Amino acid sequence: MNEKDTDDFGHRAVAQAIHMHDLHATVLHLLGLDHERLTYRYDGRDFRLTDVHGDVVSAILS
């Protein structure tokens, strides 16, 4: 990782940032789970950990 990937304090990514839903989808993929199948119905709406977003980021898997 390059030093310029975060801000001056290291709190936020400024380059190659991914969304939280993408990170969750990737971690679930590494655990062998399909994040789109982890769906439960509550109050007439389907919910899942990655909400309606979330894609597996294959670039960080190598």
Q: What is the pLDDT of residues 35-57, one digit of tens each?
A: 888 888 999 988 888 878 888 99
Average pLDDT, the chain: 85
CA 62 to the chain's CA centroid: 16
Regarding predicted confidence, which is higher, 31 or 60? 31
pLDDT for res 33: 92
Q: Is the separation of the CB atoms in 56 and 18 below 8 Å?
A: no
- Residue 60 structure tokens: 């960080």
Q: Is the separation of the CB atoms in 28 and 58 below 8 Å?
A: no
Helices and strands of the chain, counted as H and E runs: 1, 2
